[in-house]
Amino acid sequence: QSVLTQPPSASGTPGQRVTISCSGSSSNIGNNAVSWYLQLPGAAPKLLIYSNTQRPSGVPDRFSGSKSGTSASLAISGLQSEDETDYYCAAWDDSLNGLVFGGGTKLTVL
């Protein structure tokens, strides 16, 4: 049981815009920044979004993040076949004094 709640799956067609939600509480998302990670099959996770909305260099601007209250979202516009993989949200939790993760969302490009 993950501390942050993500839908287990999401899907879209090429060129479409999809969003993935991440729900938490006041001790994590409500009080701290959210980061998002992408994990290709057989590879280590990679930072995709940090500080709710910021993209590391090299991440396409098709990827965007937002946060409101105790929830956050990752949006992917202009969906491409290579976007088909797993996505995780994370946030610092003040009660646990550590990073907590969502259970992950498997994105399928139809």
Chosen residue from 51, 53, 80, 108 binding other proteins by CB under 8 A: 51
Cα gap 20→106, rounded to integer Å: 10
Residue 59 found at the interface with other proteins (CB under 8 A):
no
Residue 40 found at the interface with other proteins (CB under 8 A):
no
Residue 24 found at the interface with other proteins (CB under 8 A):
no
Cα gap 11→20, rounded to integer Å: 10
Q: Which of 54, 56, 71 is nearest to 7 (CA)?
A: 71
Residue 63 found at the interface with other proteins (CB under 8 A):
no
Q: Give strand pairing partners of 18.
A: 76
Q: Is 82 helix (H, G, I), strand (E, B) or coil?
A: helix
Strand boundaries in 5-81, DSSP class E: 9-12, 18-23, 34-39, 46-49, 63-68, 71-76
Residue 28 found at the interface with other proteins (CB under 8 A):
no
Residue 96 found at the interface with other proteins (CB under 8 A):
yes
Residue 35 found at the interface with other proteins (CB under 8 A):
yes
Count of residues in contact with other proteins, rule CB under 8 A: 25
Between 14 and 60, name the residue whose CB sits nearer to other proteins.
60
Cα gap 99→36, rounded to integer Å: 12
Q: Where do contacts with other proteins occur on this chain (CB under 8 A)?
A: 2, 32-33, 35, 37, 44-47, 50-51, 56, 88, 90-92, 96-104
